Structure 1
Amino acid sequence: MEYAGSIGELTAGQETVLGEVRKHWAAVGGATGPGDTAAAQEGVRAAYRAVGLSPPRFIVWLESPWAGVIGQAILPTVIAQVTGGLPARVRARFRRRLRGQLPADARGLIWPGIDSRIEAQVTDAVKERVDEAVLAPELWQSGWRRLTHQHMQSQVNAQRLGAFEELIQNGDPPARLDLEVLPRVHAELTAQVAAQAGVCGTAREVAVRLPRRWWRGTPLAHWSVAPHARADAMERIGVTGMAAVHGEQQVAQHAGWWWAFRDYAILTPRPDAFRRDAQGRPHCPDGPAAVWPDGWAVHVWHGTRVPASLIRGDWDTDRILREPNTEVRRCAIERMGWPEFITAAGLRQVGDSAPDPGNPGQRLTLYDLPTAIYNVPVRVLLCTNGTPERDGTRRSYGLTVPAQTPDPVSAAAGLLGLTREQYLTLSRAT
């Protein structure tokens, strides 16, 4: 194939286009609610044609990524049950299942060779500029796809290792596969496969078992939409030969995680809701930050995935101190509130509290923190927000400072990079 030639610099118009691409895909990355299912399925068919394959015979939908992980493992069995396949052929399909999955490159796209097309047509400087302009943090780090990936890993590990008690204790129902999820997914797949095969199929009372390594099928669009944004941007500035990714881009705009196998594909919807804080980080203080139609959910505190029980406020100081993850401990303290935690944990005060020179009418107090909180010796400065909340109250919060900090005023000064004497003369609002 011949390419249009090297793109060595961007015009003002192309720079504008990059901003439009970034905005569009950032919106896609955070989109919630039902997408256009017909458009998503047509995108799947186009993606298959792009790699020289016939579209899959069966395209089915399940209501969450967790259901999708289970479905991609048992769908060969369901197809055989509905269409009259033999057990031996079903077992053979299990062995070929992973080998039969479509190839995916490191960028997360089905279509191979995208990077080589870009390399042949743009200079390194242009590639860097496109990535800088388009690959926004919200495309890589803040979307629900990344959260889903992290939560899925913990759920899969719990099923593999049988760590159900810990999940129950944390308020994250494990939805044991053999008792809950597996029968439901089997019934949903049976109905859809029967309808598409044109046969009378019902969810028969059969013993459904997961194959070994059932979790190993690799989903597409499971980490972020950044690869699609990059490919879109390159095409918009003149890179040719990119039409092969249009199908996948279409799926990404209307669906969530999906799995591509030679004979079948499984799609899942976007979450019904996805909540963020003022900084754009996934966050919800009173419920799941992301939740799917079947109730599968992810709980997040200012960007950190946490157990549901933490968000509900069920953790006391003992539970907080027993938490092995430093970031989750920090989130739990913030959820409880630093003043409440300091009182409940009986933290030792360092010296006397002092008026805050930069926040008139408020006081600063310094406490020692147990090493178990952050795994290193630190102290915490309890201070008050300079701006009242909507109800007129002022929120107190804790800021960690080095363990050798002698007093609260020195702690506040050090946080601003000032000396104690400089801070004493400062007038500011925190």
Structure 2
Amino acid sequence: MPLDPISDDDRRTLEGLAERWKTRAANPDRAAVEDGFARLYREQGMEPPLIVWFDSPMAGMVAAYALAFGGKELERAGSPAAGEWARHSTPVPFERIAPPHPLAGVVHAGRLLPGDTPERELASLHFAAEDLVPSPMWTGHWVMKQAQIQARYPADPEFSDRLREAAVAALTDALLPADLREEAGPALARTPDDKDLWGKLVRRVRHPDHPARVLTALLLGAAEDRDGSPDDHPLLHIAPALGPWWPFDGVLLATDPPVEVHTGPHGRLHRADGPAVRFADGFGVHLWHAHQMPPSAIVPGWTAEDIAFAPEEEIRRRAEAELGPDTVRHDAGDVRRCAAERLGWARMVADLGLEPVAGPTADPDEPASSLALYDLPEPLFGRPSRVVVRSGGAHDGACLLVPTDMDDPVAAAAWLTGPREEQWMPDDVSALDMEMEDDIEHVEEVHLIGGQELEPFATEGAGGTYYLCGGGPRRPVLYADSEGGSRVLGRDLKEALELLAAEALDDHLEHEDDEEAEEIAAIEELIRELKLTPPSTPEEYAARKASARAMSTALTLIMTEEGNAYEYRDGTD
């Protein structure tokens, strides 16, 4: 969809709003948030809510659960506080929030938009606003997921008990008179843990609003509803300084944004020496390049022996003891890989006492340095892997995963680098179900484990993408499907097409009929036209597959958003 150009006036307004957003996000002010809510309510002729603050989503989650579902325990205990509790414990239903309710503009900023806003104009402004103020990384899935899990299955019971007691005390102090607080706390602590009730609570949480959505709504709609600039809209005081929150009848449970957020080179949550996201009360989430990790795998870090050789079930058990049940299902291998990356491949090699399979060899680029190749234990990736390690010099300890059939440390250190030759690229390979395209977007953002260049050049009908990897005169070809699987096809595009042609011919010959004969003819014509030499014997085919598989760990594909590795699939599906 082509986007409309943005006027200079609109751009200046967005830039001004974005600066105000960033200033308020950098210095969260509870008083400003409370004033914003009060203004929203009063403008609708309603009394402002009582706002109770908590330092983290975990504390807010505990308090919201106690408020929503603890009343029955007060009733069972015959507590005089039960009536007062019931008066405030009715949540504001998400689906019923609509104008003129004051929360409509907070939960759905889009409701501030004029109804006749052209879609292209809206999209243009939204993209421009997102460039100015991207959505904070900490508002993603794992922070709230861990808040819920740790509230139910605490990895650190002592910390959880302190946080739970403080959250309930803050709630009772705010909602109950002094003479009812002392006996209400123990009764609320007996509120049973119920999976279905937690599910309701999670669905009722209001997440921090996306900056671009708020800024676009303010620019297009807010100023029309009030006499003045959108700079003074209550939403611009609330949204930048508010974490997850829960609205109840006359009461609003609010949480602060985190006090620390750390990101890595891809802009995703990442930290090597502590939680990537930390809140004022100590609740935090540990992530390694966006992949959630058990805290002990980050600080102090697991030993090389445990990382390399612990059975998969033990890795899963240790991780779930800290992260909660069912948090590590099919990605125990990713936990292992990330723990190894956290320790470092050079440290893994040294601590495991691995012997080089080639080298040490003098490094021609750095006289004070030497290079050596090592085979890593197979459990690390679930298949063979090899790493080249530089020792001495300015880059001591630098490592690179390389193909397992490389036996020259110097050549391995230069893999996927060097001067690039002009790329041979055929015009049409549709006979192999490949469509050459420009401006390809895979179903999700991905990157290579070593950080080398990844260039999409063709697509496959079911949502797959073909990539050229790295630099240098030969660029291996990697295929990523739309369901989390990947496969290396050859050391360059010609090798990849030859392997694909051989597989396509075999597949068509197995089901030969008139239609298949046309497909076979098209593939054979492509082979002649491109001067391809597909493997023609089982031995040649096996050798091509082995050559591609040797590159598979060094070309591991990572989901940038989640930090998970694609599953390597050696077949053609």
Query: What's the TM-score, normalizing by structure 2?
Result: 0.55
Equivalent of 2:349, from 342, 359, 363?
Answer: 342
Give secondary structure in 1 for the equivalent of 2:374: strand
Taking only aligned residues, the RMSD between alpha carbons, in angstroms, comes to 4.2
Q: Percent identity?
A: 26
The Cα of 1:153 is off from its aligned counterpart by: 1.6
Which residue of the partner structure matches residue 206 of structure 1? 186
After superposition, the Cα gap between the structure-2 partners of 1:56 and 1:206, relative to the gap in structure 1 and judged at 3 Å, is farther
The Cα of 1:355 is off from its aligned counterpart by: 3.2
Equivalent of 1:380, from 381, 387, 391?
Answer: 387
Give secondary structure in 2 for the equivalent of 1:333: helix
2:225, 2:214 → 1: CA distance?
7
2:9, 2:85 → 1: CA distance?
55
Which residue of the partner structure matches residue 3 of structure 1? none
The Cα of 1:53 is off from its aligned counterpart by: 8.1
1:326, 1:20 → 2: CA distance?
46
Which residue of the partner structure matches residue 479 of structure 2? none
Runs of 5+ consecutive residues of structure 1 not aligned to the other structure: 1-6, 168-172, 389-393, 421-430
After superposition, the Cα gap between the structure-2 partners of 1:337 and 1:8, relative to the gap in structure 1 and judged at 3 Å, is closer
Which residue of the partner structure matches residue 429 of structure 2? none
AA aligned opposite 1:191: D
Equivalent of 1:42, from 10, 17, 35?
Answer: 35
| Mean CA deviation greater in 410-419 or 334-343 | 410-419
2:387, 2:20 → 1: CA distance?
42
Which residue of the partner structure matches residue 418 of structure 1? 472
2:380, 2:403 → 1: CA distance?
14
The count of residues paired between Structure 1 and Structure 2 equals: 380
1:201, 1:364 → 2: CA distance?
72
Q: Does 1:114 align with 2:110?
A: yes
Which residue of the partner structure matches residue 153 of structure 1? 145
After superposition, the Cα gap between the structure-2 partners of 1:315 and 1:287, relative to the gap in structure 1 and judged at 3 Å, is same
After superposition, the Cα gap between the structure-2 partners of 1:301 and 1:61, relative to the gap in structure 1 and judged at 3 Å, is same
The Cα of 1:193 is off from its aligned counterpart by: 1.7
The Cα of 1:277 is off from its aligned counterpart by: 5.0
Superposed counterparts of 1:101-180, under 5 Å: 103=97, 110-112=106-108, 114=110, 117=113, 120-124=116-120, 126-136=121-131, 139-140=134-135, 143-146=137-140, 149-157=141-149, 160=152, 162=153, 167=155, 173-174=156-157, 179-180=161-162
1:68, 1:130 → 2: CA distance?
34
Give secondary structure in 2 for the equivalent of 1:415: coil
- Check conservation: 1:369, 1:380, Cα contact below 8 A: yes
- Check conservation: 2:356, 2:374, Cα contact below 8 A: yes
After superposition, the Cα gap between the structure-2 partners of 1:79 and 1:40, relative to the gap in structure 1 and judged at 3 Å, is farther
The Cα of 1:67 is off from its aligned counterpart by: 0.6
After superposition, the Cα gap between the structure-2 partners of 1:57 and 1:418, relative to the gap in structure 1 and judged at 3 Å, is closer
The Cα of 1:60 is off from its aligned counterpart by: 0.8
The Cα of 1:184 is off from its aligned counterpart by: 2.8
Q: Which structure has the greater CA radius of gyration?
A: 2
AA aligned opposite 1:203: E
Which residue of the partner structure matches residue 247 of structure 2? 260
After superposition, the Cα gap between the structure-2 partners of 1:89 and 1:312, relative to the gap in structure 1 and judged at 3 Å, is closer
The Cα of 1:187 is off from its aligned counterpart by: 1.4
Q: Does 1:367 align with 2:374?
A: yes
Q: Does 1:68 align with 2:68?
A: no
Which residue of the partner structure matches residue 215 of structure 2? 232
Equivalent of 1:185, from 150, 167, 177?
Answer: 167
Superposed counterparts of 1:372-411, under 5 Å: 372-383=379-390, 388=394, 394-411=395-412
AA aligned opposite 1:66: M
Superposed counterparts of 1:217-296, under 5 Å: 217=201, 218-222=204-208, 225=209, 227-236=210-219, 246-276=233-263, 280-296=267-283
AA aligned opposite 1:153: K
Q: RCO greater where, 1 or 2, for CA within 8 Å and sep 6 or more?
A: 1
Give secondary structure in 2 for the equivalent of 1:70: helix
After superposition, the Cα gap between the structure-2 partners of 1:13 and 1:338, relative to the gap in structure 1 and judged at 3 Å, is same
1:258, 1:59 → 2: CA distance?
10
1:266, 1:348 → 2: CA distance?
58
Runs of 5+ consecutive residues of structure 2 not aligned to the other structure: 99-103, 316-330, 418-470, 475-573
Equivalent of 2:200, from 213, 216, 219?
Answer: 216
1:262, 1:117 → 2: CA distance?
27
Give secondary structure in 1 for the equivalent of 2:399: strand
The Cα of 1:39 is off from its aligned counterpart by: 1.5
Give secondary structure in 2 for the equivalent of 1:331: helix
After superposition, the Cα gap between the structure-2 partners of 1:143 and 1:100, relative to the gap in structure 1 and judged at 3 Å, is closer
The Cα of 1:66 is off from its aligned counterpart by: 0.3
2:109, 2:261 → 1: CA distance?
33
AA aligned opposite 1:70: V
- Check conservation: 2:301, 2:339, Cα contact below 8 A: no
The Cα of 1:40 is off from its aligned counterpart by: 1.0
Give secondary structure in 1 for the equivalent of 2:164: helix
The Cα of 1:402 is off from its aligned counterpart by: 3.1
Superposed counterparts of 1:68-87, under 5 Å: 68-76=60-68
After superposition, the Cα gap between the structure-2 partners of 1:135 and 1:309, relative to the gap in structure 1 and judged at 3 Å, is same
AA aligned opposite 1:418: G
Give secondary structure in 2 for the equivalent of 1:135: helix
The Cα of 1:11 is off from its aligned counterpart by: 2.0
Give secondary structure in 1 for the equivalent of 2:413: helix
Query: What's the TM-score, normalizing by structure 1?
Result: 0.71
- Check conservation: 1:102, 1:262, Cα contact below 8 A: no
